[in-house]
């Protein structure tokens, strides 16, 4: 057990005054440094050096595939997507993804086992059952997929637009985890955001997934959507609890219509007030914890026996571009438009536009257009932020042993910035390290921001609020 572990059976403390005081805008830290720091000056030699480091490390692999297509537009969505009813658009895109895999397989040691695989989007089930089988077979040709069902092979789905037969097909292909975007069961809210899935839809699908022996079912909800109230969302939440997902994510809707055009279709007057959003969140946290779910961190809850909770208790939980993860020991290779790889001390991002992505692949060029090579200081701060956001503690001895620096000296300025948080009861500083209390766990992004060297660069980047 980690030296400062906070027992997961202790309810989170809700302090409206402190939440209001510290609820600033900031990164979600699915990476450090964060994506806005990626640069187009990242070169082929940078890439080659990182590949060499990755191969030498012999770390297992995690594969991510971005399938951007959706056949309907969810007004709240900020994902990189292509909304179309034309199913024939998938096949030429998937051909390029397969070619990208072939190119990557020439550079990387692909004998390493693929412990983790994830299809995201968009809506991955936009593609046909035959195309799914084709993509998995192509992946198997180029990479060493495990065949004993021990890997974490996950897919994101829209529960209102996928059949039990398709999920059975995916299970036979090797998928064993499902993440479904429920968002809200209230019909008025669904109409306001153009996202429909009934309780009957989701319940029938969950029952089928359990019969099909999926290892884990995760559900996503969003608070802050138009026409939501604490009362209406409580009804949705209790219905979800009855369905008993293994994991549950409760995301804050950030209304940014200047960045995401579809959000302009949502009426500002229909949005809950900031106080209503906080009331929804407070009610949700209390309800989920009373139902036995553990607050893992950020927006994530899980059952006590879930692997995320077990990894957190063991001090090995990690955070990556898909959120919290039990496989921090993997190098991540990502395929498809806008996807981000992380290996050998670099981040590499593919072109964000489908047309450009396909043009690059057709020209036998890497699809990546931006990247970042982490410095020694970046690795140090990455570790610090990961420990805090995953485990709510930082062990100074561990930092000293791993990086050869004295944290009390190296981070003297940052530790001084934490003093007001100590005085407000969010955390404790000692000669052993930093312990974030239950009062501060909801504000962990704000704590991590203190150690982010890039936040005050004057870039003008806009982030969502930490709550």
Residue 417 belongs to a domain with what CATH number? 1.10.10.920
Q: Is residue 361 part of a domain?
A: no
**Do residues 276 and 303 share a domain?**
yes
Q: What is the pLDDT of residue 457?
A: 59
Q: What total number of domains does the chain contain?
A: 2
**How much is the pTM?**
0.94
The answer to whether 304 touches 294, Cβ cutoff 8 Å, is: yes
Using pLDDT thresholds of 50, 70 and 90, give the confidence band for residue 2. very low
For residues 209 and 164, what is the distance between their CA atoms, to the nearest angstrom?
A: 8
Q: What is the pLDDT of residue 398?
A: 96
User: Do residue 308 and residue 417 come from a single domain?
Assistant: no
Q: For residue 343, is it within any domain?
A: no
Which H or E run includes 419?
helix 412-423
41 and 29 share one domain: no
Same domain for 408 and 316, yes or no, is no
The reply to whether 6 and 113 lie within a common domain is no
- Quick check: 257 and 74 in contact, CB under 8 A? no
Express each pLDDT in 151-176 by its tens digit.
Answer: 999 999 999 999 999 999 999 999 99
What would the pLDDT profile of 229-246 be if each residue is shown by its tens digit?
A: 999 999 999 999 999 999
Considering Cα of 97, then 102, then 106, then 110, what sign does the dihedral take? Answer: positive
Q: How confident is the model at residue 110 (pLDDT cuts 50, 70, 90)?
A: very high
Tell me 317's DSSP state.
-
Q: What is the pLDDT of residue 9?
A: 54
Q: What is the domain-level CATH number for residue 64?
A: 3.80.30.20
Q: Share the mean pLDDT of the chain.
A: 93
> Cβ distance 272 to 280 under 8 Å?
yes
Tell me the HSE value of 24 on the side-chain side, using a 13 A CA sphere: 12
Q: Look at residue 349 and tell me if it is in a domain.
A: no
Q: Is residue 403 part of a domain?
A: yes
360-413 pLDDT tens trace: 999 999 999 999 999 999 999 999 999 999 999 999 999 999 999 999 999 999
Could you tell me if 27 and 58 lie in one domain? no
pLDDT of residue 5: 46
Same structural domain, 303 and 385: no
Mean pLDDT of 436-455: 93
For range 110-127, the mean pLDDT: 96
The helices-and-strands tally (H runs, E runs) of the chain is 17, 20
User: Residue 205 in contact with residue 161, Cβ under 8 Å?
Assistant: no
Is there a domain that residue 53 lies in? Answer: yes
Q: Return the H-helix or E-strand segment holding 155.
A: strand 152-157
Burial class (CB in 10 A: 0-12, 13-18, 19+), 400: middle
Q: Identify the pLDDT of residue 327.
A: 81
Cα–Cα distance, 253 to 76 (Å, whole number): 8
User: Taking a C-beta distance cutoff of 8 angstroms, is the pair 26, 463 a contact?
Assistant: yes
For residues 155 and 181, give the distance between their C-alpha atoms in angstroms, rounded to a whole number: 11
Tell me, yes or no, whether 24 and 43 share the same domain: no
Question: Could you tell me if residue 339 is inside a domain?
Answer: no
Q: Kind and range of the H or E element at 318?
A: strand 318-320
Q: What is the pLDDT of residue 461?
A: 64
Last residue in a domain, options 301, 333, 365? 333
Co-location of 53 and 29 in the same domain:
no
- 216 and 240 in a common domain: yes
Shared-domain flag, residues 66 and 166: yes
Q: What residues contact 114, with CB distance under 8 A and at least 6 apart?
A: 60, 61, 62, 63, 143, 144, 145, 146, 151
pLDDT at 3: 44
DSSP string, 77-141: --S--EE-S-GGGHHHHHHHHHHHHHHHHHHS-TTSEEEEEEEEES-GGGS-HHHHHHHHHHHHH
Round the CA-based radius of gyration of the chain to a whole number and report it. 22
Range in 12-21, 117-126, 135-144 the model is least confident about: 12-21
Confidence of residue 322 (pLDDT cuts 50, 70, 90): confident
Q: Is the pLDDT of residue 10 over 90?
A: no
Residues 6 or more apart from 367 whose CB is under 8 A from it? 100, 337, 350, 351, 357, 360, 361
- In a domain, residue 137? The reply is yes
460 pLDDT higher than 70: no
What is the span of the domain harbouring residue 17?
A: 1-33+376-467
With a pLDDT cut of 90, the percent of the chain lying above it is: 86
Cβ-proximal residues to 416 (8 Å cutoff; 6+ apart), any chain: none
Q: Are residues 141 and 177 in the same domain?
A: yes
Average pLDDT over residues 314-327: 88
Taking the C-alpha atoms of residue 344 and residue 100, their distance in angstroms, rounded to an integer, is: 19
Q: How confident is the model at residue 61 (pLDDT cuts 50, 70, 90)?
A: very high
The answer, yes or no, to whether residue 415 has pLDDT greater than 80, is yes
Quote the CA–CA distance of 443 and 297 in Å, as a whole number: 10
Cα–Cα distances (Å) from 372 to 58, 341, 396, in that order, read: 21, 11, 27
Residue 338 in domain? no
Residues 350, 367 contacting (CB under 8 angstroms): yes
């Amino acid at each position: 057990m980690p030296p400062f572990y906070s027992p997961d059976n202790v309810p989170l403390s809700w302090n409206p005054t402190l939440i209001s005081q510290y609820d600033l805008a900031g990164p979600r830290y699915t990476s450090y440094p964060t994506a806005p720091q990626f640069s187009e000056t990242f070169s082929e030699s940078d890439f080659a050096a990182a590949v060499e480091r990755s191969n030498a490390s012999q770390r297992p692999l995690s594969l991510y595939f971005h399938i951007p297509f959706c056949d309907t537009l969810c007004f709240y969505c900020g994902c990189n997507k292509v909304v179309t009813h034309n199913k024939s658009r998938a096949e030429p895109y998937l051909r390029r993804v397969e070619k990208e895999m072939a190119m990557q397989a020439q550079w990387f040691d692909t004998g390493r086992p693929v412990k983790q695989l994830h299809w995201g989007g968009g809506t991955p089930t936009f593609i046909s059952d035959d195309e799914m089988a084709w993509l998995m077979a192509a992946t198997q040709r180029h990479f060493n997929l495990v065949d004993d069902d021990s890997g974490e092979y996950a897919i994101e789905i829209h529960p209102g637009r996928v059949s039990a037969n398709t999920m059975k097909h995916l299970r036979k292909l090797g998928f064993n985890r499902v993440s479904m975007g429920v968002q809200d069961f209230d019909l008025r809210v669904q109409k306001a955001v153009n996202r429909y899935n009934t309780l009957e839809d989701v319940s029938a699908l969950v029952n089928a997934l359990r019969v099909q022996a999926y290892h884990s079912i995760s559900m996503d909800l969003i608070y802050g959507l138009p026409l939501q109230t604490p009362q209406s969302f409580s009804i949705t939440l209790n219905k979800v609890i009855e369905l008993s997902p293994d994991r549950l994510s409760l995301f804050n809707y950030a209304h940014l219509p200047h960045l995401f055009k579809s959000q302009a279709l949502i009426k500002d007057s229909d949005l809950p007030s900031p106080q209503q959003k906080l009331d929804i969140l407070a009610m949700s946290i209390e309800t989920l914890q009373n139902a036995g779910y553990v607050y893992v961190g950020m927006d994530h809850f899980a059952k006590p026996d879930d692997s995320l909770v077990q990894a957190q208790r063991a001090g090995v939980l990690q955070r990556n571009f898909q959120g919290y993860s039990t496989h921090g020991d993997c190098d991540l290779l990502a395929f498809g438009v806008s996807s981000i790889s992380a290996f050998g001390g670099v981040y590499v991002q593919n072109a964000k536009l489908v047309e450009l992505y396909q043009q690059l692949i057709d020209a036998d060029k890497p699809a990546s257009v931006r990247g970042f090579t982490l410095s020694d200081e970046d690795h140090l701060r990455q570790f610090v932020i990961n420990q805090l956001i995953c485990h709510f503690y930082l062990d100074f001895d561990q930092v000293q042993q791993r990086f050869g620096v004295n944290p009390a000296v190296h981070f003297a300025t940052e530790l001084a910035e934490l003093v007001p948080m100590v005085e407000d009861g969010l955390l404790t500083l000692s000669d052993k390290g930093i312990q974030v209390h239950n009062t501060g766990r909801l504000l962990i992004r704000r704590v991590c921001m203190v150690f982010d060297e890039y936040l005050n660069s004057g870039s003008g980047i806009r982030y969502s609020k930490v709550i």
